[in-house]
Structure 1
Amino acid sequence: MAQWTNEARYQKYEDVDQSTLDALTEKVNQSEYRQTFHIQPTTGLLNDPNGLIYFNGTYYISHQWFPLGPVHGLKYWYTYTSKDLVHFDAVGPTLKPDTKDDSHGVYSGSAFEYHGHLYYMYTANHRDEDWNRISTQHIAKVSKDGEITKFPKPVIGAPPFGYTQHFRDPKVYVKDDVYYAFIAAQNIDKQGRILQYRSTDIVNWEFQGEVKTNLDDFGFMWECPDYFNLNGYDVLLFCPQGIEAEEERFKNIYQSGYIMGQYDINQMTMNHADFHELDYGFDFYAPQTFLDEHGQRILIGWMGLPEVDYPSDVDGWAHCLTIPRVLTIEEGNLRQRPIKALEQLRTNKETALGYANKFTKQLHPYEGKQYELIIDILDNEATELYFEVRTSKTETTLITYNTKEQKVTFDRSENSQLPTPVEGTTRTTYLDTPLTQLQMFIDTSSIEIFCNNGERVMTSRIFTDASATGIKTSTESGQVYLRFTKYDLKGDAE
């Protein structure tokens, strides 16, 4: 991939001539890896979801955006609106790097309502002459017609004493008319932390202190915090960087997960269980949550990772957002399920019922590139089950289930192209209960696997050629009785 200078990375979208932008757009549109029912960048690079909110009957979904190429550079917020979280209308770039404080990027943040109006709180990134980072926290008001008015100065002008300029990603939480901001930080000992601020007027913010957990030495930076209460449990999401792999855990370059328990917001003390990964696939990071119109807690993540090159990069774009997921806590366990509204995308239902064994390499003749596949395991006497999707004579995408260990393994080693660098070509998760169902959402270049009705989730990009459309199943030994239900999916992004 071409080398990008700082000058190229930090040129403004508005300063690039239209013919260059048109050529880039055409190149992106011709990419064989473009998705059909996921939010993806019009051009360039998409990363963290930002400003997620249901406000006055409309959903607002933004993402970090560098328009000019598949690299991290001068960031904008690109915004969509929706009535159902399935069909989206592009608003375009909303928050822009147009002040001194955010001259080197409008970084991540969140949305909230205050006195009947919509506001964003975000991190402004500035670099001085020596390229030192200066991070400040800002607020912008969104008018009814979508016009953005930034407050004239930072509401938090610097990190507190004892913390570095890695100070970003404010998530606003409201309780009893008090506004709290949870901000990702790094202390001077190079340890990740979450800081808490409070305000009653959204202009003056008081630093209250550090969120106290039992994770004292757990990575060099914690990004993208999110705090909420769900079904009587307090949940703190964050993305720790610098965690060493432990057997099948923490194998991605950076992690994304949560701790759950009880949080005393006044004492800033979190009594919690272990840190759990949110997703066990290759490509999931920087998730954020919000409440939908029904009061459900919805999660959307970035389907990608920093510091990884993807095959779509050569086409001038990178990454997408995950499908929206409903979070619940059941019997003390966090579950993620695809939102029910996605059923609107279903067309051409096909079903099959039958046995598979070591000698049955294909249970049904279905094919597809963009579809939802539900596999119900009705009776399992096999030692291992093998499910192959996006398969052809030369490549495949494999999901394996080991019955004894209750282990699900995702394997993309036989895709025609792979992101780089990545540690290994498989990801594994262990289920709490025997596998009874897999629900998979497969787009042109991605797969999201929901095990046992959301007990575990595995999200990954996949890069196969156009001929890889087959669906197969078999076993190592013994047989399994299965029901397949497949729906073709047709989305707005086509």
Structure 2
Amino acid sequence: MTQQMNTHNFDVTYHIRPPYGLLNDPNGLIYFAGRYHVFFQWNQKGTTHKNKSWGHAVSEDLTSWRYLPPALEPTDWFDKDGCYSGSAVEADGRMYLFYTGNVRGENGERESYQCLAVSEDGEHFEKRGPLFEQPAGYTAHIRDPKVWKEADTWWMLLGAQTETLEGTAILYRSDNLLDWTYAGELMDRTAPFGYMWECPDLLRLDGRDIFVFSPQGLEPEGDFYQNIFQTGYLSGTFTEKGTFQPDADGFKELDRGFEFYAPQSFVDDQGRTILFGWMGAMEPEVEQAVPTIHDGWVHHLSLPREITWENERLIQRPAEELKQLRGEAASLTEALAQSGKASLPSLQTELTLEWQEAEDFEYTLRGEVTILFNKEKQRVTVERTNWLTKERETRSVVLNETLKDMRLYLEASSLELFVNGGKEVFSLRYFTETEASELTWKSSAQPVRVTAYPLNTTTSLRF
């Protein structure tokens, strides 16, 4: 069922990305047979959202990735226009992939099928085809199955759109992963919240259930909902009957940056909940202006993040294994205090910034990305240049506590920023023509403990 791809040499960074084509949603995240498996939406034929297969990367340590041939290709009647997003589970020593088969008619009309593929070894997959007929009352926008087990019941959660064009999530249940029964909508809809919910996920964290999803069609509200599509979560309780009862806290955005979307989680062999997201959700005209398209590729996944529930909030931290990439630590504090600037050790660098109590400041990375803090408002802002419009644009969040620390993972064209131990996160792409690798700083106070670690990440692999 797989197609042998051409062999290419390419530089692999610590973000998962293919050597060519377009990447989007992470799929089928699972720890299976001693390895981490990350599948991803992949157009091997170009940098547009067509011809989606499931790319496949494996690792033993979440830092060094080996790329395998695609797990799923759009070669059958039920997925001929794309093997869309889904998830993976292990049962009876086998890996089960659940995905949405996308089919388009002669006039562009859409059909969606929830499909299964099975593997004995985690590398070769046999398609089993569609599992059930689409339920009544919804458009063909039903997709992205997330499957998990509760006691003796397997549940399948799907993003959906009602015939009245409202976003929702629906459930199926099974006792054998093959025969599925419709179980209704995940929760009561009291008011419309976007026109489509994509990539639903259910996390179980320290006795709390977290429903993560990506609603489309939300209007901006102050600092919130500033991207083309959003990703966030509701905390609450998933009942034995298969319904989700949300807490009163409401929807919270998962990432405050520019491009983060369509995340998926899994539980590894250590019992950790690990999450990957896609760093590529942007307006079509902005996407087609991404400079890497000239090199034949576009987009990558986020770093692996460990997800926990602490003090009634979701926390995201870079996976502990990423520390293995660190080179020798270099303090930048003195250089910044003396001249307001310091050289970064590499284009691929981890930075840690720590304060007893932060004053107003402005840090700029490579002359392009600026991080600002306003103490009076406890407001963190990230600013960059839009590579299409050439205008500066921002994303911000107001903290509910004093700013104490930041941890940044910098790459040549991307940045992930973790604030106060991962209580807030900003993910973004950026592009600059300069080769300079410099950090500049402006503030009325002294910088406190700025440490840089070069990241030993780039190796040449054969794909």
TM tier, shorter chain? over 0.9
Instruction: Quickly say closer, same or farther: Cα 1:95–1:268, change in 2 above 3 A.
Output: same
1:302 matched to 2:278: yes
1:87 matched to 2:42: no
Residues 392-411 of structure 1 aligned to structure 2 (within 5 Å) = 396-411=368-383
Partner of 2:143, secondary structure, is strand
Contact kept? 2:45, 2:51, Cα under 8 Å = no
Contact kept? 1:168, 1:223, Cα under 8 Å = yes
TM-score normalised to structure 1 length: 0.87
Q: Which moved more, 1:480-489 or 1:249-258?
A: 480-489
For 1:343 and 1:449, locate their aligned partners in 2 and report how far apart those are by CA, in whole Å.
15
- State the number of aligned residues: 454
TM-superposed deviation, 1:366: 3.6
- Picking from 344, 355, 367, the partner of 1:377 is 355
Per-residue CA distance 1:340-383 (angstroms, 9 max, x = gap): 100111113201445967xx652544453110000111354x3x
Percentage of pairs with the same residue: 36
Instruction: Quickly say closer, same or farther: Cα 1:262–1:345, change in 2 above 3 A.
Output: same
Instruction: Quickly say closer, same or farther: Cα 1:329–1:95, change in 2 above 3 A.
Output: same
Partner of 1:84, secondary structure, is coil
- Picking from 307, 312, 316, the partner of 1:332 is 312
Contact kept? 2:116, 2:130, Cα under 8 Å = yes
TM-superposed deviation, 1:432: 1.9
Match of 1:217 in 2: 192
For 2:391 and 2:151, locate their aligned partners in 1 and report how far apart those are by CA, in whole Å.
45
Partner of 2:327, secondary structure, is strand
For 2:428 and 2:365, locate their aligned partners in 1 and report how far apart those are by CA, in whole Å.
13
Contact kept? 1:213, 1:271, Cα under 8 Å = no
For 1:37 and 1:336, locate their aligned partners in 2 and report how far apart those are by CA, in whole Å.
18
Instruction: Quickly say closer, same or farther: Cα 1:450–1:320, change in 2 above 3 A.
Output: same
- Picking from 17, 23, 31, the partner of 1:54 is 31
Per-residue CA distance 1:438-480 (angstroms, 9 max, x = gap): 10000111000000110100000011124231111111xx313
For 1:214 and 1:145, locate their aligned partners in 2 and report how far apart those are by CA, in whole Å.
38
Per-residue CA distance 1:57-90 (angstroms, 9 max, x = gap): 1111110000122111110001011111111111
TM-superposed deviation, 1:314: 2.4
TM-superposed deviation, 1:150: 1.1
For 2:390 and 2:110, locate their aligned partners in 1 and report how far apart those are by CA, in whole Å.
28
Contact kept? 1:412, 1:426, Cα under 8 Å = yes
Per-residue CA distance 1:136-158 (angstroms, 9 max, x = gap): 1011101226221111x411232
Contact kept? 1:440, 1:448, Cα under 8 Å = yes
Contact kept? 2:236, 2:244, Cα under 8 Å = no
For 1:377 and 1:363, locate their aligned partners in 2 and report how far apart those are by CA, in whole Å.
18
Question: 1:348 corresponds to which letter in structure 2?
Answer: E
Match of 1:6 in 2: none
Match of 1:279 in 2: 255
Match of 1:482 in 2: 448
Partner of 2:63, secondary structure, is coil
Instruction: Quickly say closer, same or farther: Cα 1:366–1:268, change in 2 above 3 A.
Output: closer
For 1:281 and 1:167, locate their aligned partners in 2 and report how far apart those are by CA, in whole Å.
27
Q: Which moved more, 1:56-65 or 1:364-373?
A: 364-373
For 1:116 and 1:100, locate their aligned partners in 2 and report how far apart those are by CA, in whole Å.
29
Residues 20-419 of structure 1 aligned to structure 2 (within 5 Å) = 36-144=13-121, 146-151=123-128, 153-158=129-134, 160-213=135-188, 216-266=191-241, 268-272=243-247, 273-306=249-282, 307=284, 308-309=286-287, 310-354=290-334, 362=340, 364-380=342-358, 382=359, 384-391=360-367, 396-413=368-385, 418-419=386-387
1:431 matched to 2:399: yes
For 1:210 and 1:463, locate their aligned partners in 2 and report how far apart those are by CA, in whole Å.
42
Partner of 1:294, secondary structure, is coil
TM-superposed deviation, 1:175: 0.7
TM-superposed deviation, 1:130: 2.1
Contact kept? 2:213, 2:232, Cα under 8 Å = yes
Contact kept? 1:437, 1:452, Cα under 8 Å = yes
TM-superposed deviation, 1:490: 1.9
Instruction: Quickly say closer, same or farther: Cα 1:289–1:407, change in 2 above 3 A.
Output: same
Contact kept? 1:36, 1:490, Cα under 8 Å = no
TM-superposed deviation, 1:492: 4.6
Question: 2:62 corresponds to which letter in structure 1?
Answer: L
For 2:390 and 2:219, locate their aligned partners in 1 and report how far apart those are by CA, in whole Å.
14
1:455 matched to 2:423: yes
CA RMSD of aligned residues (A): 2.2
Contact kept? 1:219, 1:243, Cα under 8 Å = yes
Instruction: Quickly say closer, same or farther: Cα 1:71–1:154, change in 2 above 3 A.
Output: same
TM-superposed deviation, 1:493: 5.6
Match of 1:491 in 2: 457
Q: For structure 1, which runs of at least 5 residues remain unmatched after alignment? A: 1-12
Question: 1:89 corresponds to which letter in structure 2?
Answer: R
Contact kept? 1:349, 1:488, Cα under 8 Å = yes
Question: 1:332 corresponds to which letter in structure 2?
Answer: E
For 2:352 and 2:147, locate their aligned partners in 1 and report how far apart those are by CA, in whole Å.
37
TM-score normalised to structure 2 length: 0.93
Instruction: Quickly say closer, same or farther: Cα 1:200–1:121, change in 2 above 3 A.
Output: same
For 1:378 and 1:227, locate their aligned partners in 2 and report how far apart those are by CA, in whole Å.
36
Question: 2:274 corresponds to which letter in structure 1?
Answer: I
